[in-house]
Amino acid sequence: MSLSARLITLRRQLGLSQQAMADAIGVHSNSWKKYESGQAQPSLEVLKKIAIKLHVSTDFLLFNEQERGPSDEFRLRFEAISSFSTEEKQVVKEILDSLILRHQAKQFFTPPQTGN
């Protein structure tokens, strides 16, 4: 779903008119109409105000579900982890954190390859 479609749907769910929504976030109603029609994109500052007013995250407004989540390969593993005990989840978290740090350190300390 596009940003404009999400804006329309969420605004309507809250029972707000375009004018009321524009007033709530401090933009002209013509600007809001352009956001909903896809003719213009809100600035980051306005996007944050929109997310707050609509009670959603900016990620929800901008990304489709599959764009931000893990791949299917990892999604199944994370679903399995959700049934772990608190202690087991902590172990998984510590393992992932250590692997991420190791990867970042490796990137930091590995000299870039030259094209020679």
Residues 63 and 80 in one domain: no
Q: Does residue 96 sit within a domain?
A: yes
Q: Domain range for residue 77?
A: 72-109
Q: Are residues 10 and 53 in the same domain?
A: yes
User: Has residue 114 been placed in a domain?
Assistant: no
55 and 12 inside one domain: yes
User: Are both 46 and 76 inside the same structural domain?
Assistant: no
Domains in the chain: how many in total?
Answer: 2
- Average pLDDT in the 88-109 region? 90
Give the torsion through C-alpha atoms of 105, 107, 111, 114, to 10 deg.
Answer: 180
Q: φ and ψ at 85, to 5 degrees?
A: -70, 165
Helix (H, G, I), strand (E, B) or coil at 29: helix
Specify whether 16 is located in the same domain as 47: yes
Please write the tens of the pLDDT for every residue from 4-24: 999 999 999 999 999 999 999
What's this model's pTM, rounded to 2 decimal places?
0.59
- Pick the closest to residue 4 from 35, 28, 43 (CA basis): 35
